[in-house]
Chain A
Amino acid sequence: MTLASMQSVLKRYGSCAALDYIDLEIHEGEIVGLLGPNGAGKTTLIQALTGILPVDQGRISLFGDSRNPFSDANKQKLGLVTQEIAVFEELTAKEGLEFFAGIYGLRREEKKKRVAEALEFVGLSAYANKVPHKFSGGMKRRLNIACALTHRPRLLIMDEPTVGIDPQSRNHILESVQKLREQGTTILYTTHCMEEVQEIASRVVILDQGQVVKEGTVQQLIETVRHEETIIFDVADPLGIPLRQVESIAGVSQVSVSGSRITVISAAGAGNLDRILSVVQQHSGVLGIQADKPNLEDVFLTLTGKQLRDREGSR
């Protein structure tokens, strides 16, 4: 069953299209990894899908309802983990969760139980009666996640839930997400971190400049760049290698030298490695060879010409 869908959704900010005719479907039971660099439109997409942001054009449907997708009944089944941390500074973790459980209609015993569960789930049980004022960034992130869990949403939308936290907290969150999925929650997981998507997503949607540039399973996406292979040689005499000659080998698209390393990008298979190696060996001793399998990072680079990772000045 399709839990959420967007059809040709357009959202402009001035002349810039933050969402440029987006089509998207989320099916029950999936973890959809929404991947894109800063400014790709991930948050805008989520805001449109959850009704926070009115769109200029297109059709949005939640739980099969496209006429009134943001009805209270539908909102009840939706959970949103916002990118910006939004927790009540004056309320303890437990009270804050009780607030949200309350506006989702949970009462007394059930509320208590679900709040305790949510705290347990994000590993904050020991801090239930502390105010988030003194929490670390990672603890606030986890509380921010818990706020969207007490009402047990059918569809959980997470906007960069692991940004700016240490690896331990991140692993905890990733495990939690997988646990949620096992419990039957469908998840839209936004990130610009490859490893996370590769680890948990059952399907990946790559977003760039407001457009879906590619979607499929991690495997499918990697297939699309499988025809290329990166081979790195550690050589004794890098200057002795005739780069021109290596470049002229059929299938080789790029050769570069840095220090004692020669990096060759070439079509995969078809004995290319053999041919390249024999040329290199004629001119220098080879100390090591490393052939890199393509990963999502390469898919992304190939599709958008951009590095995915957060680098300074990438905004």
Chain B
Amino acid sequence: MRVLSTVRFTLLRLMRNYIVLLLLLAVPIALLTVFSVILSGMVDEAGRPYFDQTALTMVLAFQLFGGSTVMSYLNEDLFARNRERMTVAPFNRTLYAFSILLAGSAFSFLLGAAIMAYTRLVLGLVWANWGWTLYLIALMAVLSSIVCVIFVCGVKSFSTAERLSEVYGVGFVLLAGLFFPMPQHAVFEFMGSYGNPLTLSVGAVRAVEIGNWNEAWFQANIVLAAIGFLFPVMLVMGRRRLR
């Protein structure tokens, strides 16, 4: 299949995209290193190190931005600079868009895993359940990519789509109440709990830490359901935009 031959190059492009590597790998690693010093020795009421939670939240929060590369490659290849060349080529552009979606998500996932590995190997953090955490990283990566595809296909202007994706990322970080408490209001409470993929995925990992698998699956499945719901939306948007 012709699209398969492009995957290698999409991955190469991702790996040489130094700005993305800086933002999604170097920045979180730098922040975590700083936090590990600041928070060393501090524990919460339950006696768990503060840094553990910070690291978990940070790893998952950066996945909210993982779709940005998918978005910019789709735009560049199908709607902007390379559009004409791709349009006259005898290959399936829808499949190509999918390959970018998959490659971008996988890349974001790998960066998340790399950050985890760094915290383990360099900062000595012990992750309770690697597999489960990676599963949630994967869900977050896919969700972010799908959301970004919806943005880039849904709005005409790419810079608007970019802003929307930033709102998605920053918005959920803020709503999760990580930096300052949100006002007491039903909407904010919902968006800070079961309506927030970041809160949900953090919650799912922490539920496993205390052995509550029911709650863990429940929260993870809400994220999965969001993917299931947004996937067809993405297909419709994509079809509309690609012809």
Pair from one complex: yes
State the CA gap A98–B12 with chains docked (Å).
13
Q: Do residues A80 and B5 form an inter-chain contact, with CB atoms below 8 A?
A: no
A104 x B9 contact (CB < 8 A): no
Question: A209 to chain B: closest CB distance in Å?
Answer: 23
Check if B90 sits within 8 Å of A76, measured CB to CB.
yes
Establish whether residues B81 and A86, one from each chain, have CB atoms under 8 Å apart when the complex forms: yes
A145-184 interface (Cβ within 8 A of B): 147-148
Docked pose: A263 CA to B12 CA in angstroms: 62
Q: Are B85 and A104 in contact (CB under 8 A)?
A: no
Q: How would residues 45 to 56 of chain A score, 1 for a CB under 8 Å from any chain B CB and 0 otherwise?
A: 001001110000
Chain B stretch 106-136: residues in CB contact (< 8 A) with chain A: none
B2 close to chain A: CB less than 8 A: yes
**Please, what's the 1-or-0 string for B156-192, where 1 marks a CB less than 8 Å from any CB in chain A?**
0000000000000000000000000000000000000
The CA of A148 and the CA of B85, in the complex, are separated in Å by 8
Could you tell me if A91 and B85 are in contact, using CB atoms closer than 8 angstroms? no
A131 to B17, CA, bound (A): 13
Residue in A84, A90, A95, A105 with the greatest tally of chain B CB atoms within 10 Å: A90
Given contacts A80-B84, A86-B82, A86-B84, contact A103 B89 (CB under 8 A): yes
Partner of B87, one of A52, A76, A102, A104: A52
> Which residues in window 47-93 of A have CB below 8 A to B?
47, 50-52, 72-73, 75-76, 78, 80, 82, 84, 86, 88, 90-91
Q: Chain B, interface size: which category? A: 20 to 34
B13 x A52 contact (CB < 8 A): no
Bound-complex Cα distance A98 to B86 (A): 14
A100 is an interface residue with CB less than 8 A from chain B: yes
Q: A72-B90, A102-B2, A105-B90 are in contact. Are A52 and B9 (CB under 8 A)?
A: no
Q: Is the beta-carbon distance between A52 and B88 smaller than 8 angstroms? A: yes
Contact of A82 among B5, B17, B84, B96 (CB under 8 A): B84
Q: Is the CB of A90 within 8 A of B16?
A: yes
Residues on B with beta carbons closer than 8 Å to the beta carbon of A50:
84, 87-88
State the Cβ distance, A163 to closest chain B Cβ, in Å.
16
B13 touches A91 (CB 8 A): yes
B103 CB to closest chain A CB (Å) equals 13
A21: Cβ under 8 A from any B Cβ: no
When the two chains form their complex, are residues A88 and B89 in contact, meaning their CB atoms are under 8 A apart? no
Instruction: Assess the A73–B84 pair: CB atoms within 8 A.
Output: no
> Looking at A76, A78, A103, A148, which has the most chain B CB atoms within 10 Å of its CB?
A103
Q: Are B84 and A90 in contact (CB under 8 A)?
A: no
Decide: B2 and A52 in contact? CB cutoff 8 A. no
B98 beta carbon closer than 8 Å to chain A: no
C-alpha gap A72/B84 in the complex (Å):
15
How far, in Å, is B6 (CB) from chain A's closest CB?
6
CB pair B91–A91 under 8 Å, yes or no, is: no
Chain A residues positioned under 8 Å from B91 (CB to CB):
72, 103-104
Instruction: Give CA–CA (A80, B88) in the complex, Å.
Output: 7
**Chain A proximity mask over B193-207: 1 for CB below 8 Å, otherwise 0:** 000000000000000
B17 to chain A, nearest CB (A): 6
Task: Give the nearest-CB partner of A131 in chain B.
Answer: B16
Residues of A contacting B87 in the complex (Cβ-Cβ under 8 angstroms): 50-52
User: Could you name 28 residue pairs across A and B whose Cβ atoms are closer than 8 Å?
Assistant: A50-B87, A52-B88, A72-B90, A73-B90, A75-B89, A75-B90, A76-B90, A80-B84, A82-B84, A86-B84, A86-B85, A90-B16, A95-B12, A99-B5, A99-B6, A100-B85, A102-B2, A103-B2, A103-B3, A103-B5, A103-B6, A103-B86, A103-B90, A105-B2, A105-B90, A131-B16, A147-B85, A148-B85
Which residues on B are within 8 Å of A, measured CB to CB? 2-3, 5-6, 9, 12-13, 16-17, 81-91, 96
> When A and B form their complex, which 3 residue pairs have the shortest distance between CB atoms, in order from nearest?
A102-B5, A72-B90, A75-B90
Instruction: Beyond A88-B13, A88-B82, A102-B6, list 6 extra A-B contacts (CB 8 Å).
Output: A52-B84, A75-B90, A82-B84, A90-B17, A99-B5, A103-B96
